[in-house]
């Protein structure tokens, strides 16, 4: 049974729809990231699940139990929802030791003293802070404080852990380390995680499923690589992936069941369909989407272009190149670099290029490309 279900949830602040007719089913033990640009409704959604925000309309169930229903007039307070909350400002109590910070909540829940001690040690071991239990928060690094906050949140053993950008105060290196710790933790404690982030890389690397939002509405809900390989619309294709997908405007011609021509004033491609999701018509204005790693450098290719800029980082090089007056970004792996303005050959060897409607942004088809001119 899904662990968290949102049905037709709407939250309005005056005239602003923060979240609109939103449906979501988070499975038991999933790690779902709520992702999207600033103001798209991620935090509001998380706060509605937690009970800190009251929806204007809709229904929310956690573990089969209705915790909010506008129709049935049910609204359980956060402490009755069996959830743990972890925010960006995790605010440890400065006058309490690490031990006390973790045990305090359990004392309030009237746990037995011996059980509290056992639980604090269990949690400390889990997040690797056993040797810090007698210290005060001011004597800890940012990463150590974050671990204490996680231990404190997990101590009462919530089945659901809700997190709002919990790593954004940490420096890049620590954030990376904590991401892998969180992923490990998720597996070890077998809870359901819902995690808000605006960082697509964080969402991709952590999640079992990404819930991508825009303007309070759901754009796509799927595992990270499924979203990456099969974006439902232009917004999703553009938001997911770094460097971003290349987009070229073109017009459809010579369409039949297998293929079509895609032309603009500088380029002409033959596009062979692998899958078609929508009707495509002769003369339709479309946008072709090409992932940077789906353009490969190929010495013998007759598709020649000039190097516009390069960004070598050791593990990979991001190359911007000029193909008949269109700028494309490609990624090539390993320690390679190119002189600016030199000529290189490129190939389009993938069968995962996309065509989107210029009008609605919806994906129309996926397939292979052959550059004709
Ligand atoms: P960010 O990544 O910037 O935190 P978000 O995706 O979490 O953004 P929300 O904080 O959920 O977005 O806000 C969604 C929309 O609702 C925004 O337009 C925001 O201005 C509005 N909003 C949120 N809280 C309130 C409030 N208390 N009163 C009025 N409007 C609000």
Same domain, 30 and 83: yes
Same domain, 190 and 329: no
Domain boundary among 203, 238, 273: 238
Q: What is the CATH number of the domain that holds 256?
A: 2.40.50.140
The atom number, within ligand 1, closest to the CA of 36 reads: 6
Place of tokens 């992936």: 241
Stretch 35-64: mean pLDDT: 96
Same domain, 147 and 273: no
Domain boundary among 193, 221, 238: 238
The CB of 38 under 6 Å from ligand 1? The reply is yes
Closest-CA residue, ligand 1 atom 24, reads 44
Same domain, 266 and 140: no
The dihedrals phi and psi of 114, each to the nearest 5 degrees, come to -65, -35
Same domain, 209 and 251: no
Residue 57, classed as helix, strand or coil, is strand
Same domain, 98 and 153: yes
Stretch 265-280: mean pLDDT: 93
* Cα of 233 from ligand 1 centre, angstroms: 24
| Whole-number pLDDT of residue 89 | 73
Same domain, 180 and 292: no
The pLDDT tens digits of the residues spanning 296-336 come to 999 888 889 999 999 999 999 999 999 988 999 999 999 98
The pLDDT tens digits of the residues spanning 330-366 come to 999 999 899 999 999 999 999 999 999 999 999 999 9
The pLDDT tens digits of the residues spanning 133-157 come to 999 999 998 888 888 998 898 888 8
List the one residue out of 87, 35, 12, 23 whose CA is nearest residue 60. Answer: 23
Q: Length of the chain in residues, anyone? A: 373
In this structure, the strands spanning 353-357 and 363-371 are antiparallel
Q: How many domains are contained in the chain?
A: 2
Same domain, 172 and 274: no
pLDDT of residue 123 exceeding 70: yes
The CB of 114 under 6 Å from ligand 1? The reply is no
Instruction: Kindly indicate the confidence band of residue 125, based on its pLDDT and cuts at 50, 70 and 90.
Output: confident
Considering only residues 125 and 76, tell me which one the structure prediction assigns the higher pLDDT. 76
Show the CA angle centred on residue 169, arms to residues 50 and 173, nearest 5°. 120
Q: Which residues sit opposite 161 in a β-bridge?
A: 84, 193
DSSP code of 362?
Answer: B
Stretch 49-55: mean pLDDT: 96
Same domain, 226 and 261: no
The CB of 40 under 6 Å from ligand 1? The reply is yes
Stretch 110-125: mean pLDDT: 92
The pLDDT tens digits of the residues spanning 171-225 come to 788 788 888 888 888 988 888 999 999 999 999 999 999 999 999 999 999 999 9
pLDDT of residue 1 exceeding 60: no
The CB of 44 under 6 Å from ligand 1? The reply is yes
Q: What is the CATH number of the domain that holds 171?
A: 3.40.50.300
* Cα of 48 from ligand 1 centre, angstroms: 12
The atom number, within ligand 1, closest to the CA of 213 reads: 6
* Cα of 146 from ligand 1 centre, angstroms: 25
Distance CA 113, CA 185 (A): 25
Q: Which of the listed residues 6, 41, 199 should we mutate to test ligand 1's pocket, taking the one with most ligand atoms within 8 A of CB?
A: 41
| Structural domain range at position 334 | 247-371
Instruction: Kindly indicate the confidence band of residue 28, based on its pLDDT and cuts at 50, 70 and 90.
Output: very high
* Cα of 46 from ligand 1 centre, angstroms: 11
| Whole-number pLDDT of residue 2 | 52
Residue 55 has a CB neighbour count (10 Å cut-off) of 25
Same domain, 224 and 287: no
Residue 183 has a CB neighbour count (10 Å cut-off) of 16
Domain boundary among 238, 263, 291: 238
Same domain, 70 and 167: yes
Same domain, 138 and 195: yes
214 contacts: CB under 8 Å, gap ≥ 6: 36, 37, 40, 235
Q: Which of the listed residues 39, 52, 55 should we mutate to test ligand 1's pocket, taking the one with most ligand atoms within 8 A of CB?
A: 39
């Amino acid at each position: 049974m899904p662990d968290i279900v949102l049905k037709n949830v709407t939250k309005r602040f005056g005239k602003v729809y923060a979240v609109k007719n939103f449906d979501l089913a988070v499975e038991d033990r999933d790690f779902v990231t709520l992702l999207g640009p600033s103001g798209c409704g991620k935090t509001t959604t998380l706060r509605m699940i937690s009970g800190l925000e009251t929806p204007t309309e809709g229904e929310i169930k956690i573990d089969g139990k209705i915790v909010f229903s506008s129709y049935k007039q049910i609204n359980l307070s956060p402490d009755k929802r069996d959830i743990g909350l972890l925010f960006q400002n995790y605010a440890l109590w400065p006058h309490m030791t690490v031990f006390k910070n973790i045990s305090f909540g359990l004392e309030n829940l009237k746990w037995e003293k011996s059980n509290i001690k056992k639980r604090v040690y269990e949690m400390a071991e889990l997040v690797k802070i056993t040797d810090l239990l007698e210290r005060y928060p001011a004597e800890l690094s940012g990463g150590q404080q974050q671990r204490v906050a996680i231990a404190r949140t997990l101590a009462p053993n919530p089945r659901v852990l809700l997190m709002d950008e919990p790593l954004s105060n940490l420096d890049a290196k620590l954030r990376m380390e904590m991401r892998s710790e969180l992923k490990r933790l998720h597996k070890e404690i077998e809870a359901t995680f819902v995690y808000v982030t605006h960082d697509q890389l964080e969402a991709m690397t952590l999640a079992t499923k990404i819930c991508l939002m825009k303007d309070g509405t759901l754009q796509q809900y799927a595992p990270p690589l499924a979203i990456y390989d099969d974006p439902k619309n232009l917004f999703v294709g553009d938001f997911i992936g770094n460097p971003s997908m290349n987009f070229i405007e073109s017009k459809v011609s010579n369409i039949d069941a297998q293929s079509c021509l895609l032309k603009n004033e500088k380029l002409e491609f033959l596009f062979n369909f692998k899958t078609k999701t929508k009707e495509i018509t002769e003369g339709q204005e479309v946008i072709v989407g090409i992932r940077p790693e789906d353009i490969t450098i190929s010495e013998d290719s007759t598709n020649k272009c000039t190097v516009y800029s390069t960004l070598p980082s050791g593990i990979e090089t991001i190359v911007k190149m000029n193909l008949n007056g269109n700028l494309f970004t490609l990624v090539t792996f390993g320690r390679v670099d190119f002189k600016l303005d030199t000529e290189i050959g490129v190939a389009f060897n993938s069968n995962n290029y996309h065509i989107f409607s210029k009008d609605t942004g919806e994906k129309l088809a996926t397939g292979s490309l052959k550059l004709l001119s």
